Amino acid sequence: GESVGLHLPTLSVQEGDNSIINCAYSNSASDYFIWYKQESGKGPQFIIDIRSNMDKRQGQRVTVLLNKTVKHLSLQIAATQPGDSAVYFCAESSNDYKLSFGAGTTVTVRA
């Protein structure tokens, strides 16, 4: 079936560098995309979202890019900090408010 997936399961980044986390989705009907951060033993924390009528959205230190042509979503974190170490999930939805989560990328920030 169609699903949301991530290109890389792990990402190691030097503190202060920028991070890019990628996500591929296959459901062409998806119109709402969200990035979540999950720390160990905790629930997912909303980071940023984007709708299919946009291709870029910026938040505080984070930017989400959406390329509907190739069904690709990315999360950019500027000046990565140790507190950014976590598992990052992309999720997609198509009209029914149900979210389908990707496999997750573990981000480790090196001091």
**Interacting residues with another protein (CB under 8 A):** 32, 34, 36, 41-46, 49, 89, 93, 97-104
State in angstroms the smallest separation of the CB of 12 from another protein: 17
Closer by beta carbon to another protein, 18 or else 45: 45
State in angstroms the smallest separation of the CB of 109 from another protein: 19
Closer by beta carbon to another protein, 43 or else 111: 43
State in angstroms the smallest separation of the CB of 84 from another protein: 18
Closer by beta carbon to another protein, 34 or else 109: 34
State in angstroms the smallest separation of the CB of 82 from another protein: 21
Which amino acid is present at 96? Answer: D
Closer by beta carbon to another protein, 83 or else 111: 83
Q: Rounded to whole angstroms, what are the CA distances from 105 to 6, 75, 86, 108, 109? A: 7, 11, 8, 10, 13
